[in-house]
Amino acid sequence: MIGPVASRRDGAAAWVTINRPEAANALDRPTKDAILAALEQAAGDPAVRAVALTGTGRAFSAGQDLRELQGVYQSGGVPDFAEELGSFYEPAVRLLTEMPKPTVAVVNGVAAGAGASLALACDLRVAAASARFKLAFSGIGLIPDAGSTWHLPRLVGLSGALRLALLDDTVGAEEAERIGLVSRVWPDEELPDRAAELVARLAAGPTGAHAAAKRLLRASLDVDLPGALAAEAKAQVAVASSSDHAEGVRAFVAKRPPEFTGT
């Protein structure tokens, strides 16, 4: 039986698919637990060299399951937001941003609330033409969380971030590409194949170099230039001793495509 999350391997790529299409892939407790387990597994497996996060059906994810939240209120309780954020959203966002391999959100449909936050936490976002982004938090009287207040200004600037948070505009895929929220948009029917190609390409890449580039670029807005230059030099010395570097140079001279092994 397929649970709320389906995990599969495609060569060196791990695909994590949120699988509650009847609820727009909203994040209830079992779904959150399963996403976290799948991300932990992919992050910790050295044979996995790229990770894709996507959804089944018409949505990527509509964010926090509001029926579950309503259930807590109806039973006279108050949701423990600190616990929810600390036990799922924070570790999931940190795994996506910190695992030493590229992460890609394959945004097959609407990404709202914390669903959008998870997409924003991935290193790259690619989208179907019909996909859309909506923060949705202000609609239920909350602030953007799960890393959105950190990622959004870095991706679309402060003005764009404020617009999305306060006006809660829905941004379609084409506009998302124009403002730098997504890297590629493909016709809906082409998304599965094109995204699989892109993720496979990342998984066949120089994993150590990708990991270092990801780490340095993510840190870059919080360090000064001398600090960035020093960090680059340190990382380059480490990466230069990898087999993948030697293979890249060999392949260039031999006029053939490199065969990186991630070592």
Residues that bind ligand T3D (CB under 6 A): 23-24, 26, 62-67, 79, 81, 84-85, 110, 112-114, 134, 136-137, 139-140, 142, 145
Residue 77 beta carbon to ligand T3D: minimum distance, rounded to whole angstroms: 13
Closest to ligand T3D by CB, 72 vs 158, is 72
Residue 26 beta carbon to ligand T3D: minimum distance, rounded to whole angstroms: 3
Closest to ligand T3D by CB, 116 vs 209, is 116
Assign residue 176 a region: left if phi > 0, alpha if psi is -120 to 50, beta otherwise? alpha
Closest to ligand T3D by CB, 53 vs 209, is 53
Residue 176 beta carbon to ligand T3D: minimum distance, rounded to whole angstroms: 15
Annotate the chain with DSSP letters as a single string: ---SEEEEEETTEEEEEE--GGGTT-B-HHHHHHHHHHHHHHHH-TT--EEEEEESTTEEE--B-HHHHHHHHHTT----HHHHIIIIIHHHHHHHHHSSS-EEEEE-SEEETHHHHHHHHSSEEEEETT-EEE--TGGGT----TTHHHHHHHHHHHHHHHIIIII---EEHHHHHHTTS-SEEE-GGGHHHHHHHHHHHHHTS-HHHHHHHHHHHHHHTTS-HHHHHHHHHHHHHHHHTSHHHHHHHHHHHTTS-------
Residue 61 beta carbon to ligand T3D: minimum distance, rounded to whole angstroms: 8
Closest to ligand T3D by CB, 73 vs 81, is 81
Closest to ligand T3D by CB, 20 vs 101, is 20
Residue 60 beta carbon to ligand T3D: minimum distance, rounded to whole angstroms: 9
Closest to ligand T3D by CB, 137 vs 260, is 137
Residue 142 beta carbon to ligand T3D: minimum distance, rounded to whole angstroms: 5
